[in-house]
Amino acid sequence: MRIDKDCLGQMEIEDDVLYGIHSMRAVNNFPITNEKVNPVIIESMLEIKLAAAKVNYQAGTLEENKANAIIKACQKLIHDHDYRDFIVPAIQGGAGTSTNMSTNEIVAQLAYRMTNLKIHPNDDVNQSQSTNDTFPTSGKMAMLKLTPKLLEAINNLINQFTQISLKHQKTVKIARTQLQDAIPTTYGRSFQAYASLFKRDYKRIRNAAKSLTKINLGGTAIGNGLNASNYYKNNIAPVLSSISGLQLQPASDLIDATQNCDVFAEFSAALKILAMDLSKVANDLRLLSSGPQAGLNEITLPKRAAGSSIMPGKINPVIPEVVNQVAFEVIGKNLTVSMAAGAGQLELNAFEPIMFRDILTSQKHLTNAINTLVEHCLKDIQINELYNRKNVEKSAITATILTPKLGYEKSTEIVKRALHNNESVKDIVLEEHLLDKSTVEKLFSPEILTNCNNQDSAIQ
């Protein structure tokens, strides 16, 4: 055992671990969850410590041997992805201080073991830094690192909807407004509308992520840069960008960037809207596939699992259902982020830990949910074309096409008769000689009923 000290006292720490007293205090103080700080935040914190050591050495404020020891320790931890000693809980008080202090002591301890050089966690590893600029920067970096996979998933979703749209440009169906029969449309248009929806989500998330590239490193405690050299302030962002592969820039107002969290709320809101859109589409898929005998049964989803322990042969829409649940989760987490972002006081927001935990979880779950929807549902979805065509042919709502020629009142009479006698609108018009046969055939053709000539260009 070794004795570790802080401003509150001392504590025995096992010899074989890298963490120290700050990590143990966090574990003891915050027994909220077994979930640890996200590994992507840890990686980002280590990259910050590595960059800081380089810049501080270049600035002449950190000895070369100490800088090299810190750099070597950070590189090993990042390369090995060995984060077992990062035991600080994800949900923590202190605005991320426990995470920063834990990183400092782990890097210092590993540097000592690798070089036999005494490295101070605060004076050396944390030089020119504060939790208040390292922790929010690590959170932004983590979000930026997870964004490409999410955008790739959304792009795959768009492409899949587009493929289905192109395949079914002329597959007619009955549209529905307020769950009641409406005028005919095509599945090509319906699925192209989904593709258009997620194109907006793609742009929205990509644009929101741009704000995350502005960091407050060099601002230290409140954004005024106390204890950081001018060289450090001017060079930490480009050096960190080179190490991380991210395009990071100093915020134009470091005090603003230290105390305000609107960029996190903005990014979370973009994720929430994506979740909302996914839920809407998942609901549509469940509804359209309902039945198959007593529901709409317009589409058939891939059979992924037995649906009942008591009803033989029952199959449930399990993939849209899991997407729905992820959407509900993300929408709830966005509320948490919104409340946390608005709860900061004066020069600092203390609630970034829960914001980062929820945003990063939302990114990961949305990515996985979208990939699941594409691979396990959309790629093998089937449109029941014959069934849909018969629905259109017998639908009384097709009388809408008659209103320009027969008027609203006469068309309404035809609809009432068709519904009452279970007749087709087309047959009624022909029987009553309301229009000549060639006109009727043209009006009730799929192209005219679905107004394809005016909108197919949107599908191309």
Q: Which residues are catalytic?
A: 308
> Which residues are bridge partners to 348 per DSSP?
345
**CB of 385 within 8 A of CB of 63?**
no
Q: In what helix (H) or strand (E) does residue 183 lie, and over which residues does it extend?
A: strand 180-186
Q: What is the length of the chain?
A: 460
Q: d(Cα 278, Cα 272) in Å, to the nearest integer? A: 10
**CB of 132 within 8 A of CB of 227?**
no
Q: d(Cα 96, Cα 265) in Å, to the nearest integer? A: 18
Q: Residue 69 burial by CB count (10 A; 0-12/13-18/19+): exposed, middle or buried?
A: buried
Give start and end residues of each alpha helix (H) in 30-129: 39-59, 64-80, 97-115
What string of DSSP letters covers 320-337?
HHHHHHHHHHHHHHHHHH
Measured N-to-C along each axis, helices 131-167 and 262-288 cross at an angle, to the nearest 10 degrees, of 30
Give start and end residues of each alpha helix (H) in 117-218: 131-167, 187-210
Q: d(Cα 453, Cα 460) in Å, to the nearest integer? A: 12
**Residues 6+ away with beta carbon under 8 Å from 351:** 95, 261, 340, 341, 343, 344
Residue 294 phi/psi, 5-degree rounding, is: -115, 20
Residue 199 phi/psi, 5-degree rounding, is: -65, -40
CA 28, 30, 32, 34 torsion-angle sign: negative
Regarding beta strands 9-13 and 2-6, do their DSSP bridges make them parallel or antiparallel, or are they unpaired?
antiparallel
| Cα 220 → chain centroid | 30
Taking alpha carbons only, the member of 159, 128, 110 closest to residue 48 is 128
Residue 249 phi/psi, 5-degree rounding, is: -135, 150
